[in-house]
């Protein structure tokens, strides 16, 4: 897949995600309104779906920054990183995104934003302390590649929508346990509806996970390849990926403010928990990414 095909694919996936979310939320609203005998629930679901889509589109980067606890990087204190980021942007004809710092000893980074004009790049203090300058440059190039490849909007929107799915699943379970629905309907119908509701509640987190998996793996390979072209030193990013994974695999300090909803946005999975990437990880195995970088091929 070429870069332009990848960009077009990400745009299509974004609209597909928005459409599926609208349909799923409205369907869920219909089910709850039918179960509880209250049509207003459906109208609330429609309004909420529209609002959530707008919020995730316009403010997803602000939410990601707030959730991660990132703060704007001081121009003087982090002058070297600002300069490094600016030089990479100049080489690519890109607008320099805002740089944020996360006070966390765990090495990691992510990019977020609706488009190139309002994009942000955030790195942890742990990443800056663990990596060499050429490795930090590789990480920054990787995040810029996400921006250039137009996949940060999709990734950022997923943060909001996956978080919403988690909330809805919790509400469903609680309503089925503690609520009373069905009105004067036949008890058998009420039991069937309750079972359907529990099934939906159980499947919601799985669906959220599948959405993350669907958008993450190939885009990581593409961003790695683009970063190697930017820096012309693939070894920098390859070494950075190995050091970052080693930090998590060896059980060192985890990412303190990391959330499962943002798992797919980081350059490396911050929730490995002493294990290497698996089939259910949002990121491809680091050894495959490193091999693809050093061989000059885009992994699939």
What secondary structure letter does DSSP report for 117? G
Angstrom CA distances, 87 to 96, 120, 127, stand at 9, 16, 19
Two tokens at 264?
Answer: 């797919």
Q: What percent of the chain has pLDDT over 70?
A: 68
Q: State the average pLDDT over residues 3-28.
A: 68
* Domain range list for the chain: 3-66+152-213, 71-151+217-295
Helix axes 187-231, 152-178, angle to 10 degrees: 160
143, 220, 245, 263: the active-site residue: 143
Range scoring the smallest mean pLDDT among 111-120, 147-156, 182-191: 182-191
pLDDT band at 143 (very low <50, low <70, confident <90, very high): very high
Two tokens at 129?
Answer: 């302390």
- How far apart are alpha carbons 176 and 170 in whole angstroms? 10
More confident residue, 234 or 29: 234
- How far apart are alpha carbons 147 and 65 in whole angstroms? 16
Helix (H, G, I), strand (E, B) or coil at 113: coil
- How far apart are alpha carbons 38 and 30 in whole angstroms? 9
- How far apart are alpha carbons 149 and 8 in whole angstroms? 9
Over the stretch 51-97, which tens digit does the pLDDT of each residue have? 877 777 788 788 889 989 999 999 999 999 999 999 999 999 999 99
What secondary structure letter does DSSP report for 97? P
- How far apart are alpha carbons 264 and 242 in whole angstroms? 18
pLDDT band at 141 (very low <50, low <70, confident <90, very high): very high
Q: What is the number of other CB atoms lying within 10 angstroms of the CB of residue 296?
A: 10
pLDDT band at 151 (very low <50, low <70, confident <90, very high): confident
User: Catalytic annotation on 86?
Assistant: no
Contact 130, 107 (CB under 8 A): yes
Over the stretch 242-283, which tens digit does the pLDDT of each residue have? 999 999 888 788 888 877 778 878 998 887 665 565 555 668
pLDDT band at 43 (very low <50, low <70, confident <90, very high): confident
Angstrom CA distances, 104 to 69, 178, 272, stand at 9, 40, 17
Q: At which residue do the structure tokens 């509400």 appear?
A: 171
pLDDT band at 176 (very low <50, low <70, confident <90, very high): low
Q: State the average pLDDT over residues 43-48.
A: 83
Contact 121, 152 (CB under 8 A): no
pLDDT computed for residue 73 by the predictor: 97
- How far apart are alpha carbons 86 and 80 in whole angstroms? 10
pLDDT computed for residue 300 by the predictor: 46
Angstrom CA distances, 155 to 17, 96, 160, 212, 225, stand at 11, 19, 9, 8, 18
- How far apart are alpha carbons 240 and 127 in whole angstroms? 9
In b/e form, how buried is each residue of 174-188, taking b as 16+ CB within 10 angstroms?
Answer: ebbeeeebbeeeeee
Q: State the average pLDDT over residues 147-164.
A: 71
Over the stretch 113-138, which tens digit does the pLDDT of each residue have? 878 888 999 999 999 999 999 999 99
User: Is the CATH code 3.30.2010.10 the one for domain 71-151+217-295?
Assistant: yes
């Amino acid at each position: 897949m070429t870069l332009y095909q990848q960009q077009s694919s990400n745009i299509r996936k974004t609209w597909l995600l928005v459409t599926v979310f609208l349909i799923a939320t409205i369907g869920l609203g219909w089910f709850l309104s039918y179960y509880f005998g209250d049509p207003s629930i459906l109208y609330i679901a429609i309004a909420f779906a529209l609002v959530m889509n707008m919020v995730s589109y316009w403010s997803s980067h602000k939410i990601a920054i707030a959730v991660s606890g990132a703060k704007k990087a001081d121009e003087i204190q982090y002058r070297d990183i600002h300069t490094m980021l600016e030089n990479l942007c100049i080489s690519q004809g890109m607008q320099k995104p805002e740089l944020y710092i996360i006070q966390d000893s765990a090495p990691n980074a992510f990019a977020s934003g609706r488009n190139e004009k309002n994009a942000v790049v955030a790195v942890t203090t742990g990443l800056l302390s663990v990596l060499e300058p050429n490795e930090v440059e590789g990480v920054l190039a990787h995040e810029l590649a996400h921006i250039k490849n137009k996949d940060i909007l999709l990734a950022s929107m997923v943060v909001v929508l996956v978080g919403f799915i988690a909330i809805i699943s919790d509400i469903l379970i609680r309503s089925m346990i503690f609520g009373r629905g069905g009105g004067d309907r036949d008890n058998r119908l009420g039991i069937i509806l309750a079972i359907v509701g529990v099934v939906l509640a159980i499947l919601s987190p799985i669906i959220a996970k599948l959405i993350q998996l669907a958008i993450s793996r190939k885009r990581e390979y593409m961003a790695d390849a683009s970063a190697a072209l930017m820096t012309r030193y693939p070894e920098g990013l390859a070494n950075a990926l190995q050091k970052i994974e080693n930090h998590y695999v060896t059980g060192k300090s985890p990412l303190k403010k990391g959330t499962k909803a943002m798992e797919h946005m980081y350059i490396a999975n911050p929730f490995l928990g002493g294990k290497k990437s698996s089939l259910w990880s949002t990121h491809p195995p680091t050894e495959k990414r490193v091999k693809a970088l050093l061989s000059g091929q885009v992994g699939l």
